[in-house]
Amino acid sequence: MSKHQRNATGGRGRRLISFSAITLLAFSAVALAQPFEASNDGAVRSSGEVSPVERQATDGPDAVGRVGRDSQYVPLDAAGRSRYIVRFVEPSLALYEGGIEGLRATSPAARGETLLDTDSADAQAYLDFLEQRQAEHLSAIASRFGRSVSVERAFKVAINAATLRLAPEEASALVRLNGVAHVERDYLSAPLTDFGPAQINADAIWSGSATPFAGTRGEGVIVGIMDTGINFQHPSFAATDGDGYTHTNPFGSGNFVGWCDPGHENHDPAYQCNDKLIGAWDYADAITAEADGPQDNQGHGSHVASTAAGNLLLSPQLSPTYGYENPISGVAPRANIIVYDVCEELCAASSVIAAIDQAIQDGVHALNESIGIGGDTFSGSKQQAYLGALAAGVAASRSAGNSGPGAATVGPEPVWVTSTAATRHVSRAFNNQVTGLAGGDTAAPGDISGQAMSGAYGPAPIVYAAEFSNVSGPDDGQCLEEFPAGTWTNGEIVVCDRGQIARVQKGENVLAGGAGGMIFVDDGNGIIADPHVLPAIHISQADGATLKTWLETGAGHQGSITEAVVSIDTSAEDVMAAFSSRGPADVAGVIKPDLGAPGQSILAAYAATDDETEVYASISGTSMASPHATGAAALMRATFPTRTASEIRSALMGTAEYSAVRKETLADSNPFDIGGGRIDLARAAQTGIVLNETASNFASADPASGGDPTTLNLASLGQSACFQTCTWQRTLKSAATGASQWQATYIGDGDATITPGSFTLEGGTTQTLEVELDVTSGDRETWQFGYVVLSNTDGDAPDFTMPVAAFVMPSESLGQLDKTVDVDTAEPGDTVNYTLTAAPFTAGTYTLSDQLPEGVTYVADSATHGLVYDAGDRTLDWSGALTGADLRLEAADPGAYLSLAGLGVTPFTVPSNCDDGGFFVDVPTFSYLGNAYSRVIFSVNGTVEVGDASSMAASFQNEELPNPDEPNNVLAPLWSDLSLCSGGNWYAASLNSGEFIVFEWEAVPLSNFWVTEFPELASVHFTFQVWIETATGDIWFAYGDMNWGAWPFGTVAAENSTGELGESYFFDGEGTRPETDDTIDVVAQLDQQMMSYQVTVDGDPLGTMVNEVLLTNDGDVSIRAWSSFEAVDPGLIFRDRFEGAETP
């Protein structure tokens, strides 16, 4: 029945009511769905459960965007409110490009400048305007809620926003208020070197050997560190470094910002800045229980700061007993530092935003954040603050995450920020031994090897801590508490077991009791070289057991601890750290991470202890890689002060070392491991090419607003949906002063055409480069990787390389091309019939060609529907225009909902995961976009997947469709976070002997996850159906009682099998929300061209007759199909290979 015929009957609802009544009277055994029941005359039946997607934390119904990996939301307070970041519609100071009468543009890009001048008259005028507009917005909000609204923080420079305390239902309403652009619940994320600078060749810029100017170590550049604070007393941050260099304060000697400024309301003389460390702010104390100001009480921030820009220290004292012979330095050791404390144990997104806002005002040039991230890649509040930082000229770097090595483990990283992966560098070991063991009643063990940053000690008595009473009771061997003074009086070496508390703390506990040294016994987790407060050694669990057994015999045990000897192993250089997060990113067309840097076993400054300020630690993580990138950006800014932040990032990416980098398995790496490669500053400083991109273009590329990230002028080429070819365009800018000659080549998967293949770049000019990658030689549904290499034929600049990552779409994503033959075998003289069906998804002019095999002859005049036989080429050819596929949703006549329970259908079995589960369901065959299906996936969360390709139930987290993420081929009458655990029913039925297939969700409530946190959502429930008419393939959604309440989340949509075609009728508040009694048609059409022809079998040759048909257009569609039959001679005798009998 066509859509026109359905409408002509007076509407679906009336026709089906009449039909159903007749059916129930005449056909009492309406084919009802029962799980695991035999299928009779087309009845639907379950064929097994579908594994649900694992539930993770998500945001409330009140925010746009969801929490990210390894993050958690700020909890509700006693008044039922949480902290929300509310962004307003006016652009921030950094992003304002003009257009308001009387207010000139303040964005550096609009003014032709590199850095934002926050003190200019234009800037001050616009800040006054924003303050007025924010007051107006806040007044409107207060009026809307009928109460005063207090502002915790207001931002105007990086982002135009404020943090407010709101109830969830208030936040939900606020999204729709004029003047509000975005509402996001604040969230908390966790904080995620001697050889490091050398590995990225920082010394080539220090010395000037890689630059056309004098060398620089970062003089005049300000590095901002957003982290856990800083160890003010550490020599890494002193005014004079270990080489005697005295820093220059760009604010003037003795002038500081933040809490170090005597004029600041939170000034405390305990926080002593100097001409190196020129500012310190704290954004954590005000919103947490922390009260330590910007002092680092954790260590992470001091480590990160010293890695990026810590002083050169020639012979650092790694522990009270051990001086290190190798120098330690940050990447930009003479840069100034401003620290922004944004963390207690976790770090609030709103605190990071406040720090970014302030860092721009402080004149920071390079900014680091080694903390997790949530929100949306483009519209998230923290991401938007970083967009403002880019517009202000700040080069920002972030850690890519520690969730590797699995695919797609990188978080929602801002596209405009450098996301840094972690590599290993040299393997450094501080080896020492326990020697000279003597005493006891049994033979003493031989020398025992271990590690620690320790000086020598002994000989001295050796005792086991468990033999001495302490407040830790039965765990005295763990050394969990300080031992009383005088516990040991002869400088004993005390044996402690690992576990429960910090390793270094155990040394402090035995030192308090009078110990002279410590032997630290491992628990199986691995030996670590720690900087203990007394001579020490960390030994293996097995050696520890042997040692303790010996100590149980006799008396007079003694021995010595040797001084640590450093050994260096370079074999681990440029190997990926296993923990480093990998791509692909969650945004199509963007490669993340951007590049890599050393991040494993990085030795740098740490937080002070009660007794020591010069404390060091060797720790690992992308947190340690990111400050290498920040320090590198600082050196590049010092060397090239007029380059934009985007140009600096492109120089680091385009000149990075990629060919030598290996995965943690030692296999070759790819761009999803390390982006452009491991930073190489020697080459970055000599680059002849840079790429620029503006904040405005980044904002316009948001896919949610119809943008295309693949068009961004990045030093990487990504595409998540390649059919036959992918195409990119990049604008290259000369970084040289004179003319330079360039040659473009491609290495990697597929074949690339680069236009122009060679070109000349005059100083300061640009060149447009087009790259077309042919992926037809690659496997479908796989990523293909490669590199575009631009070589300077003059030899004056290093190669500039751009990584490529392209996903090859399945052939069915191009459309259907079917070819059938009506026989399996044929004899000479027989006539064989071929049928061709061409149905491409995209509109265009197409050409079809079918090559006949040898051994058959075309039957004259048998070709139909424009198919023409070419006797010379022995091909059958056709050409013509096809309109492609169309998939959209349209409002239809209301009243199509018909209760299946009212027809006597019993509820479908609830899956074992009643919250997020589903079933495979076998159904009568129907057609959807040219393909036939007899199985679907029926999901609790409001979807029917046509087919079973994903083998998973729909996630609790709805998505906008279409998109290439699984599941695809989805019919979504209401994809939302629903649950059958505490109410509602669902049904699946085949009506009228398989004429109709119906899926229904009846009075289904939201997941208990929401109702528990937001009790006002308890009344929300939905009733809706999917109807499929099997004969025609017509599909519609019918809605019963739709009680939305304050719930804004849901997807009403349909898409095809690749996620490239479809439409969202409603998505999370955008579009038209389906209400009670609504009906929505799913218009799924595919323009098909059917043709046929005949051949006769010649008899020579015989065997398998295979021929191929090819459908192409002038774009990127090329589809092939094959068919075959066996040409046999009936006069031959064949021997049955199984039975051995002769068959005539």
pLDDT in tens, 603-630: 899 999 877 888 888 888 899 999 999 9
Query: Minimal CA–CA distance to 109: which of 633, 692, 579, 921?
Result: 692
Domain match, 443 and 504 both: yes
Confidence of residue 106 (pLDDT cuts 50, 70, 90): very high
Distance of alpha carbon 611 from alpha carbon 990, whole angstroms: 77
User: Is cis: bond before 1144, omega within 30 of 0?
Assistant: no
Task: Give the count of domains, the chain.
Answer: 5
Q: Could you tell me where the DSSP H helices lie in 392-537?
A: 503-512
Residue 133 has pLDDT above 90, yes or no: yes
The per-residue pLDDT for range 715-761, each reduced to its tens digit, is 999 998 887 789 999 999 999 989 999 999 999 999 999 999 999 99
Q: At what angle do helices 300-309 and 622-639 cross, to 10 degrees?
A: 30
Both structure tokens of 779: 């496997």
Give the residue from 851, 742, 894 showing the smallest Cα distance to 1107: 851
Residues shown for the chain: 1144
Angle CA 1116–1117–1118, to nearest 5: 120
* Beta strands in 516-569, from DSSP E residues, in sequence order: 517-521, 536-539, 558-561, 565-569
Judge if 401 and 431 occupy the same domain: no
Q: pLDDT tens-digit profile of 684-728?
A: 999 999 999 999 999 999 987 778 899 999 999 999 888 778 999
Residues 6+ apart with CB under 8 A from 153: 162, 163, 350, 354
Q: Looking at the domain assignment, is residue 95 inside a domain?
A: no
- The reply to whether 945 and 1058 lie within a common domain is yes
**932 touches 51 (CB < 8 A):** no
Q: Are residues 315 and 354 in the same domain?
A: yes
In a domain, 132, yes or no: no
Do 564 and 577 share a domain, yes or no? no
Same domain? 403 vs 436: no
The answer as to whether 125 is a domain residue is no
Is the CB of residue 602 less than 8 Å from the CB of residue 193?
A: yes
In a domain, 932, yes or no: yes
- Tokens read off for 81: 């409110």
CATH of the domain at 535: 3.50.30.30
Q: Which domain holds residue 1045?
A: 3-55+886-1083
Q: Report the relative pairing of strands 277-282 and 257-258 from DSSP bridges.
A: parallel
State how far the Cα of 147 lies from the Cα of 410, in Å rounded to an integer: 41
* Position 1003 in a domain: yes
402 and 437 housed in the same domain: no
Q: Which of 809, 837, 865 is the last residue of a domain?
A: 809
pLDDT tens by residue, 631-645: 999 999 999 999 999
Residue at a domain's end among 554, 569, 584: 569
Of 1091 and 52, the one with more pLDDT: 1091
Same domain, 289 and 369: yes
Say if residues 539 and 547 touch (Cβ distance below 8 Å): yes
Which of 556, 652, 725, 776 is CA-nearest to residue 201?
652
Q: Among the listed ranges 46-50, 200-204, 549-553, which one has the minimum average pLDDT value?
A: 46-50
- On the question of pLDDT at 373 being above 70, the answer is yes
Residues 585 and 678 in one domain: yes
Percent of the chain clearing pLDDT 90 (strictly above)? 64
Q: Are residues 546 and 636 in the same domain?
A: no
Q: Tell me, what's the pLDDT at 206?
A: 82
User: What CATH number is attached to the domain comprising 403?
Assistant: 3.40.50.200
Joined tokens for residue 116: 């934002």
Most confidently modeled range among 169-173, 198-202, 216-220, 366-370: 366-370
**Where residue 275 falls among pLDDT bands split at 50, 70, 90?**
very high
What is the rounded distance in angstroms from the CA atom of residue 858 to the CA atom of residue 714?
54
Together in a domain, 237 and 315 = yes
Structural domain ending residue among the three candidates 569, 590, 611: 569
Q: ∠ at Cα 441 (440, 445), nearest 5°?
A: 60
What is the C-alpha to C-alpha distance for residues 1074 and 974, in angstroms, rounded to an integer? 9
Residue 949 has pLDDT above 90, yes or no: no
Q: Which two tokens stand for residue 877?
A: 């050819």
Do 804 and 872 share a domain, yes or no? no
Strands laid side by side in the 347-348 sheet: 71-73, 187-189, 347-348
Contact 1057, 814 (CB under 8 A): no
- Could you tell me if 958 and 1050 are in contact, meaning their C-beta atoms sit under 8 angstroms apart? yes
The CATH number of the domain holding residue 760 is 2.60.40.2310
pLDDT at 65 over 70: no
Ramachandran sector of residue 440 (left: φ over 0; alpha: ψ -120 to 50; beta: rest): left
Residue 611: the pLDDT is 77
Q: Is residue 734 part of a domain?
A: yes
In a domain, 177, yes or no: no
pLDDT in tens, 220-259: 999 999 999 999 999 999 999 998 999 999 999 999 999 9
Residue 656 has pLDDT above 50, yes or no: yes
- Output the pLDDT for position 1143: 30
Cβ atoms 337, 643 nearer than 8 A: no
User: pLDDT band at 473, cuts 50/70/90?
Assistant: low
Contact 1006, 1056 (CB under 8 A): no
Residues whose CB is less than 8 angstroms from the CB of residue 925 and which lie 6 or more positions away in sequence, other chains included: 932, 933, 934, 1030
pTM of the model: 0.73
pLDDT, mean of residues 859-876? 95
CATH of the domain at 867: 2.60.40.740
Amino acid at 141: I
Give the distance, in angstroms, between the CA of residue 1141 and the centroid of all CA atoms in the same chain.
Answer: 64
Average pLDDT over residues 938-965: 91
Q: Which residues pair with residue 1022 across a beta bridge? A: 1004, 1042
Predicted confidence (pLDDT) at residue 1062 exceeds the cutoff of 80: yes
pLDDT confidence tier of residue 472, bands split at 50, 70 and 90: low
Let me know if residue 841 belongs to a domain.
yes
Taking alpha carbons only, the member of 978, 959, 957 closest to residue 968 is 959
